[in-house]
Amino acid sequence: MASARLYFRFLLFQLPYYLHLAIAQNNGTVPVGATLTAGSTSFPWLSPSGDFAFGFRQLDEENSSNDLFLLSIFYNKIPEKTVVWYTDNKDQNPAVPRGSQVKLTADQGLVLNDPQGKQVWSSKIDIGTVAVGHMNDTGNFMLASSSSSRLWDSFSNPTDTLLPGQTMETEQGLFSRKSDTNFSRGRFQFRLLEDGNLVLNIANLATGFAYDAYYISGTYDPANSSNSGYRVMFNESGYMYILRRNGGRFDLTTERVVPAADFYYRATLNFDGVFAQYFYPKNGNENWSVAWSEPENICVNIGGEMGSGACGFNSICSLDSDRRPKCACPKGYSLLDENDRYGSCKPDFELSCWGGGQGYNKELFDFHELKNINWPQSDYERFKPYNEVQCKNSCLSDCFCAAVIFEDGSCWFKKLPLSNGMTDSRIASKAFIKYKNKGDDPPSVPRPPDPEDKKKSKMMNATGSVLLGSSVFVNFAFVCAFVLGFFFIYKKKWIRNSPGDGTIETNLRCFSYKELEEATDNFKEEVGRGSFGIVYKGVIQSTRTSTTAVAVKKLDRVFQDGEREFKNEVFVIGQTHHKNLVRLLGFCDEGQNRLLVYEFLNNGTLASFLFGNLKPNWNLRTNIAFQIGRGLLYLHEDCSSQIIHCDIKPQNILLDDHYNARISDFGLAKLLTLNQSKTIKTAIRGTKGYVAPEWFRNSKITAKVDVYSFGVLLLEIIACRKSFDIEMGEEYAILTDWAFDCYRNGKFDALVGGDMEAMNDVECLEKLVMVSIWCIQEDPSLRPTIKKVLQMLEGVVEVSVPPNPYPFSSSMGCY
């Protein structure tokens, strides 16, 4: 009873404090003495509108074992709780364990202690006494004295993000984090220098020494210092600019922005070195969209004589569809840290001159050829004049040489570590990187005898004695038994070609359902949905020491003749190899479970590449169109059994690390052998918008249905928009109709949306549009074969003026 009274008195005395705190939170104020504890049920300190919150944000919330938290300011109404400020301990990770506490004090301001009470970080108030804290609707957390003078605020101590209303003064700057989930300081900086230039640069993490800038604003005027920049402004309307000393402006946001009343804005120096301004609808549940970013191509622009480049050493940087870098290790190399996909790569072999080591033995090595790739900072030798064979042979004989670049009779030798590896379509030279030829391994070091080996040896000796000492009949019986046992053991490695009884040996791996369950973590990560099932990302053991990412397609449709159709695909695709087709690695045919295991391509689908916020490079788009055509030509004419895809669309075109197009989902459609009728008697297959008209009529279905779909896809590649988009307005919703009117009226600029790269190549643009119109003719007999399509695209055959593809349809208009 006494304890109950004490508890009641405690609540009575504490009630005014909690009421004060609750009332204060309505207007964003935080009283001195207020605390927050990481991992507790206490609410963060909110701004008056609730848009921003100050508090602990759990890192990697999906991992229940992760008990690390970040004291930060974040968007409170966005599902992902995007962080815009966090405590910065320079060379230390700012993440703290569960039970850590932040307290607003009068003398030091904000003080963060770990669960043992040790101070981890503080806001360091130099002069004055804190009376109150404010979490403002601008995203700025401010500490003020009793006279309302500002003692400290987050805007004056930025980390990796600027918000509207925030300024950045000379010699102030932003620092990137180490990775998307590691908030330790990364190696990229965004600074306004004393001379007035705004720069992006890499810094040495140990010393902070700044390497050469890879972006410079050019706002330094040596002839007129008043024209130089001195402050970076991010106004409430969503525009960023550099304010010059004479009051002039240098605009960073050059495009018109969406209304700030309806959208959130932020500008962030991303962990990969790209500085970007983003916007997000306040009443939406979408992803952040990019308003602008610098540099245009960080893989190429980063340059400099020191450092590894955008990615780690020995890595290759390529640009993603959102102009962000992607890093990959070349053949024969693997990540130094498997958890850091942007880090350095290490060779999986010894390349050494020590004691006349393996580097001298050229028979042990081979080259992997890479296109449009260079490591410009790693040269140590040059030979000229040299031909390609001389270049490669010289490198094989040089124990220092890790790679060579050959162009126009010149041969550049590269040594480890390879730095600033980049992919650029403008690079015309050939790159050859040396890797270990595993087929020619040197003799291995003898290992100690294994007791099990001794047992096996004794058994073999005993068996040999029996065979030698027995009669001819017994010997014959032993041999037969051995052969039969061998046959049954390895029978599972053969695939029976349905519907016949013969067996055909393939290189495909037969997986059990349990293996694929484990490989996909119980089918956890869905990466796509195809016409016949769902695709999951997985990882399989490829060798004893390495793993391979795979895409596992779990077939969920019931076929009329399911077993035969499935085995047909396994058989046909297992023998189908082309650089523009996705490769099948294995399969599972266990009871009712039928799954296909494909190689995993990191750059995703052509749909995400084309229909993102940024329009991809014109030359890259045209190359992709040519590659799709070559893949289709192989399926239609070069396979032993002709394959009609029946569902050509951007979702079924995947892009590899170098943005080469690879056709997927082929082989599940009905197959046509060369001696069969050219008609498929089956239900309509394909996707709305890409389906040829003959599917809806009682007429033959031939390879021309793929030509029709390719024509629609080609128009999507040209215009970077979907084949049917009601948001474009009723007149422009159907791309095929609108494209023909644009062609007829010569309005190519409207079709490509003012794409200057395309308009500068208007002859090629017009040719591609004409080819696409030939492909989408309603009458299949008027459509060219895919072979002729490719010849027209490549300029082998002249493209004649195409007729109206829909002679009975009305014009949609192109203005």
Kindly state whether residues 715 and 739 are assigned to the same domain: yes
Residue 431 inside a domain? The answer is yes
Residues 50-84: tens digit of each pLDDT = 999 999 999 875 444 568 999 999 999 998 889 99
| Residues 73/163, Cβ–Cβ less than 8 Å | no
**Last residue of some domain: 585, 600, 615?**
600
Quote the pLDDT of residue 188. 93
| Residues 257/238, Cβ–Cβ less than 8 Å | yes
The strand ranges marked E within 259-409 are: 263-269, 275-281, 289-294, 316-319, 325-328, 333-335, 345-347, 365-371, 373-374, 379-383, 403-407
> What CATH number has the domain bearing residue 242?
2.90.10.10
Rounded to an integer, the average pLDDT of 543-553 is 82
Kindly state whether residues 642 and 786 are assigned to the same domain: yes
Range of the domain at 392: 347-440
Quote the pLDDT of residue 472. 46
Quote the pLDDT of residue 483. 47
Residue 162 inside a domain? The answer is yes
| Residues 144/132, Cβ–Cβ less than 8 Å | yes
**Last residue of some domain: 600, 630, 647?**
600
* Model confidence pTM above 0.85: no
Give yes or no for residue 174 having a pLDDT over 70: yes
Kindly state whether residues 814 and 709 are assigned to the same domain: yes
Kindly state whether residues 509 and 413 are assigned to the same domain: no
Of 304 and 593, the one with more pLDDT: 593
Rounded to an integer, the average pLDDT of 304-327 is 85
Q: For residue 66, count other CB atoms closer than 10 A to its CB.
A: 14
Highest mean pLDDT among 7-21, 57-71, 97-111: 97-111
Helix (H), strand (E) at residue 430: strand 430-436
Highest mean pLDDT among 68-82, 364-378, 574-588: 68-82
What percentage of the chain has pLDDT greater than the value 70?
79
Where b means 16+ CB within 10 Å and e means fewer, 215-246 reads bebebbbeeeeebbbbbbbbeeebbbbbbbee
Where b means 16+ CB within 10 Å and e means fewer, 625-663 reads bebbbbbbbbbbeebebbbbbbbbbbbbbbbbbebbbbb
The strand ranges marked E within 52-164 are: 52-58, 68-75, 83-86, 96-97, 101-105, 109-113, 119-122, 132-135, 141-144, 150-153, 161-162
Of 530 and 577, the one with more pLDDT: 577
Quote the pLDDT of residue 12. 38
The strand ranges marked E within 446-604 are: 495-496, 503-504, 509-510, 526-529, 533-541, 547-555, 584-590, 593-599
| Residues 328/320, Cβ–Cβ less than 8 Å | no
Q: How far apart are CA 658 and CA 537, in angstroms?
A: 20
SS3 state of residue 738: helix
Quote the pLDDT of residue 487. 45
Kindly state whether residues 506 and 519 are assigned to the same domain: yes
| Residue numbers belonging to the annotated binding site for ATP | 554
Kindly state whether residues 592 and 639 are assigned to the same domain: no
Residue 309 inside a domain? The answer is no
> What is the layout of strands, in order, in the sheet containing 430-436?
365-371, 430-436, 403-407, 410-414, 379-383
> Which amino acid appears at position 209 of this protein?
F
Of 604 and 808, the one with more pLDDT: 604
Relative to beta strand 509-510, strand 584-590 is parallel
Of 11 and 581, the one with more pLDDT: 581
Q: How far apart are CA 158 and CA 85, in angstroms?
A: 7
pLDDT category, 442, cuts 50, 70, 90?
very low
| Residues 584/598, Cβ–Cβ less than 8 Å | yes
Quote the pLDDT of residue 438. 61
- Catalogue the active-site residues: 647
pLDDT category, 687, cuts 50, 70, 90?
low
Q: How far apart are CA 178 and CA 342, in angstroms?
A: 10
Highest mean pLDDT among 334-348, 473-487, 528-542, 723-737: 334-348
| Residue numbers belonging to the annotated binding site | 554
Residues 131-140: tens digit of each pLDDT = 999 999 999 9
SS3 state of residue 778: coil
Kindly state whether residues 114 and 163 are assigned to the same domain: no
> What CATH number has the domain bearing residue 355?
3.50.4.10
Rounded to an integer, the average pLDDT of 563-578 is 71
Where b means 16+ CB within 10 Å and e means fewer, 770-793 reads bbbbbbbbbebeebbbbebbbbbb
Quote the pLDDT of residue 517. 93
Residues 85-102: tens digit of each pLDDT = 999 877 678 999 999 999
pLDDT category, 681, cuts 50, 70, 90?
very low
Rounded to an integer, the average pLDDT of 313-335 is 89
Of 254 and 680, the one with more pLDDT: 254
pLDDT category, 11, cuts 50, 70, 90?
very low
| Residues 5/13, Cβ–Cβ less than 8 Å | no
Quote the pLDDT of residue 674. 31
Residues 451-466: tens digit of each pLDDT = 444 444 444 444 444 3
Burial class (CB within 10 angstroms; exposed 0-12, middle 13-18, buried 19+) of 152: buried
Q: For residue 100, count other CB atoms closer than 10 A to its CB.
A: 24
Residues 616-662: tens digit of each pLDDT = 889 889 999 999 999 999 999 887 778 888 889 999 999 988 889 99
Residue 329 inside a domain? The answer is no
Give yes or no for residue 160 having a pLDDT over 50: yes
> Which amino acid appears at position 188 of this protein?
F
User: What backbone phi and psi angles, to 5 degrees, belong to 58?
Assistant: -70, 135
Two tokens, residue 557: 């449709």
Exposure on the CB side of residue 402, measured as CA atoms within 13 A = 25
pLDDT category, 682, cuts 50, 70, 90?
very low
Give the Å distances, CA to CA, from 759 to 465, 613, 754, 770: 83, 20, 7, 15
**Last residue of some domain: 140, 156, 172?**
156
Rounded to an integer, the average pLDDT of 404-414 is 91
pLDDT category, 711, cuts 50, 70, 90?
very high
What percentage of the chain has pLDDT greater than the value 90?
40
Residue with tokens 């070349």: 330
Of 337 and 16, the one with more pLDDT: 337
Kindly state whether residues 107 and 29 are assigned to the same domain: yes
| Residues 293/276, Cβ–Cβ less than 8 Å | yes
Helix ranges restricted to H, 309-450: 388-396
Two tokens, residue 798: 């002249």
Rounded to an integer, the average pLDDT of 572-586 is 84
Of 532 and 416, the one with more pLDDT: 416
Kindly state whether residues 166 and 268 are assigned to the same domain: yes
Residue 4 inside a domain? The answer is no
Kindly state whether residues 631 and 758 are assigned to the same domain: yes
Kindly state whether residues 133 and 47 are assigned to the same domain: yes
Q: How far apart are CA 383 and CA 683, in angstroms?
A: 62
Give yes or no for residue 4 having a pLDDT over 50: no
- List Cβ neighbours of 372 (8 Å cut-off, separation of 6 or more): 423, 424, 425, 426, 427, 658
Rounded to an integer, the average pLDDT of 102-122 is 93
User: What backbone phi and psi angles, to 5 degrees, belong to 531?
Assistant: -70, -25
Q: Bridge partners of 594?
A: 589
pLDDT category, 362, cuts 50, 70, 90?
low
Of 694 and 748, the one with more pLDDT: 748
Residue 300 inside a domain? The answer is no
> Which amino acid appears at position 563 of this protein?
E
Quote the pLDDT of residue 451. 42
Burial class (CB within 10 angstroms; exposed 0-12, middle 13-18, buried 19+) of 800: exposed
Kindly state whether residues 143 and 180 are assigned to the same domain: no
Domain count, the chain: 5
Quote the pLDDT of residue 91. 67
**Torsional class of 568: left (φ above 0), alpha (ψ -120 to 50), beta (otherwise):** alpha
State the average pLDDT for the chain.
81
Rounded to an integer, the average pLDDT of 177-181 is 88
- List Cβ neighbours of 315 (8 Å cut-off, separation of 6 or more): 308, 309, 327, 328, 329, 330, 343, 344, 345, 418, 421
| Residues 301/215, Cβ–Cβ less than 8 Å | yes
Residue 656 inside a domain? The answer is yes
Rounded to an integer, the average pLDDT of 156-168 is 95
Quote the pLDDT of residue 61. 53
Residue 411 inside a domain? The answer is yes
Quote the pLDDT of residue 633. 93
Quote the pLDDT of residue 458. 44
> What is the layout of strands, in order, in the sheet containing 263-269?
161-162, 263-269, 275-281, 289-294
Q: What is the DSSP string of 373-393?
A: EE-TT-EEEEESS--HHHHHH
> Which amino acid appears at position 455 of this protein?
K
Instruction: Classify the C-alpha dihedral 607-610-612-617 as positive or negative.
Output: positive
> What CATH number has the domain bearing residue 522?
3.30.200.20
Give yes or no for residue 156 having a pLDDT over 90: yes
Looking at the chain, the number of H-run helices and the number of E-run strands are: 15, 48
Rounded to an integer, the average pLDDT of 592-615 is 87
